[in-house]
């Protein structure tokens, strides 16, 4: 089986002469993306998608809509240019978010692919999902609640697998003669990790991941929301969609500041489950029950959101998980960027400081 990295198409080959612009490399030290107006940022977003569509035989452009603040902006911006919207119903999220996505996509008149993972979160946590290949064949792919080290397993099983399956359904066996574009809401300014890993365009075989708002700052996001969200002094329509152009509002993001479409708990903060439970007790009830099951089964990692015992190794998280924490082991790469002028020494210090150092 060919590894994912080997399948990726070098960006320079995709867009000759435009590697720096399309590669999604971190802004150079002299660049000031915050100086870009919102309209300029929108124009750049449109240009990113236009270049992809001009370079590849794309048969479908699909917006990825988690129900969160960033994904709603990218889908609102491109709602007239996508063929459909996809939402991964991980089975461990807040139901109100999935219903929000259904309502919004229906109001936009777009087809919705509501995807479900092959294996449930419960089975993953209880160790019921066995590896079918490699040296670990026949062994559980994971046991217990995940910490950061288990996030890659959860991401691959709960989110990536359904999206890869959808890609296969769309293109069949035609391979690179037919490509699918997935539009996501990754942004450099979203987290420290996003700055390091986000790319404008990332080709993975016949699947092209496009992050058209990757260059948007938090200020751009605020201005876009202010421009399109209904603020009229009246009784708002459901999801605040009072006009055809209105930007939807998910009540879950208003309460929790996250979409809540996946509660795997790998990067949960202290007290996060209690906060979710305050607003959405029906969403946390299965997790509380699963805690009791794992404890009864004698699994060491029997508490949701708590780092399991053992080594504190971590792997880069999936591209669709906006709340993931910083990734360890990247300081050498950041040092290379600093030395080559891709980031300033001050940016290097900011991205490599620990939480304790930031708080000091």
More confident residue, 174 or 279: 279
What local confidence, expressed as pLDDT, does residue 133 receive?
A: 86
Average per-residue pLDDT in the chain? 82
pLDDT category at 183 given cuts 50, 70, 90 is very high
**CA–CA separation, 254 and 76 (whole Å):** 18
Query: What number is the average pLDDT over the span 206-228?
Result: 95
Query: What number is the average pLDDT over the span 195-204?
Result: 75
Cα 335-336-337 angle, rounded to 5 deg: 90
What local confidence, expressed as pLDDT, does residue 19 receive?
A: 40
pLDDT category at 317 given cuts 50, 70, 90 is low
**CA–CA separation, 266 and 151 (whole Å):** 5
Q: Strands of the chain (E only): list them.
A: 58-64, 84-88, 112-115, 179-183, 201-204, 207-210
More confident residue, 35 or 310: 35
**Dihedral, 174, 186, 240, 76 alpha carbons, nearest 10:** -50
Query: What number is the average pLDDT over the span 315-319?
Result: 55
What local confidence, expressed as pLDDT, does residue 345 receive?
A: 73
% of the chain with per-residue pLDDT over 90: 64
% of the chain with per-residue pLDDT over 70: 73
For the stretch 24-39, pLDDT in tens is 444 433 344 557 999 9
| pLDDT for 22 beyond 60 | no
Q: Are 294 and 302 in contact (CB under 8 A)?
A: yes
| pLDDT for 213 beyond 50 | yes
What local confidence, expressed as pLDDT, does residue 330 receive?
A: 35
Residues 6 or more apart whose Cβ sits within 8 Å of residue 341: 28, 29
What local confidence, expressed as pLDDT, does residue 318 receive?
A: 58
| pLDDT for 197 beyond 60 | no
**CA–CA separation, 163 and 153 (whole Å):** 15
For the stretch 251-287, pLDDT in tens is 999 999 999 999 999 999 889 999 999 999 999 999 9
Residues 6 or more apart whose Cβ sits within 8 Å of residue 165: 115, 118
What local confidence, expressed as pLDDT, does residue 321 receive?
A: 67
pLDDT category at 246 given cuts 50, 70, 90 is very high
What local confidence, expressed as pLDDT, does residue 129 receive?
A: 95
For the stretch 124-167, pLDDT in tens is 999 999 999 888 899 999 999 998 989 999 999 999 999 999 99
């Amino acid at each position: 089986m060919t590894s994912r990295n080997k399948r990726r198409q070098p960006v320079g080959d995709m867009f000759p002469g435009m590697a720096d612009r399309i590669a999604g490399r971190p802004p150079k030290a002299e660049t000031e993306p915050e100086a870009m107006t919102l309209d300029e940022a929108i124009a750049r977003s449109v240009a990113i998608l236009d270049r992809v569509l001009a370079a590849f035989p794309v048969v479908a452009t699909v917006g990825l809509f988690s129900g969160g603040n960033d994904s709603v902006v990218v889908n609102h911006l491109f709602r007239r240019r996508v063929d459909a919207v996809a939402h991964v119903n991980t089975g461990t999220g807040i139901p109100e978010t999935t219903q929000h996505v259904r309502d919004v996509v229906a109001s936009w008149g777009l087809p919705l692919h509501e995807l479900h993972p092959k294996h449930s979160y419960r089975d993953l946590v209880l160790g019921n999902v066995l590896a079918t290949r490699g040296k670990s064949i026949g062994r559980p792919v994971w046991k217990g609640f995940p910490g950061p080290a288990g996030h890659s397993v959860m991401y691959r099983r709960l989110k990536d697998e359904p999206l890869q399956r959808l890609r296969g359904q769309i293109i069949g066996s035609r391979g690179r003669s037919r490509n699918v574009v997935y539009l996501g809401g990754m942004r450099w300014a979203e987290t420290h990790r996003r700055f390091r890993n986000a790319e404008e365009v990332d080709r993975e075989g016949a699947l092209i991941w496009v992050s058209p708002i990757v260059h948007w700052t938090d200020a751009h996001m605020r201005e876009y929301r202010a421009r399109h969200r209904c603020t009229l002094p009246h009784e708002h329509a459901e999801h605040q969609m009072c006009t055809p152009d209105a930007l939807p509002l998910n009540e879950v993001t208003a309460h929790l500041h996250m979409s809540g479409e996946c509660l795997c708990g790998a990067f949960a903060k202290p007290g996060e489950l209690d906060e979710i439970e305050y607003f959405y007790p029906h969403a946390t009830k299965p997790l509380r029950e699963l805690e009791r099951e794992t404890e009864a089964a004698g699994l060491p990692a029997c508490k949701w959101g708590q780092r399991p015992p053992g080594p504190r190794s971590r792997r880069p998280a999936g591209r669709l998980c906006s709340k993931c924490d910083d990734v360890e082991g990247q300081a050498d790469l950041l040092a290379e960027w600093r030395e080559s002028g891709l980031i300033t020494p001050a940016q290097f210090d900011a991205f490599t400081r620990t939480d304790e150092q930031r708080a000091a």
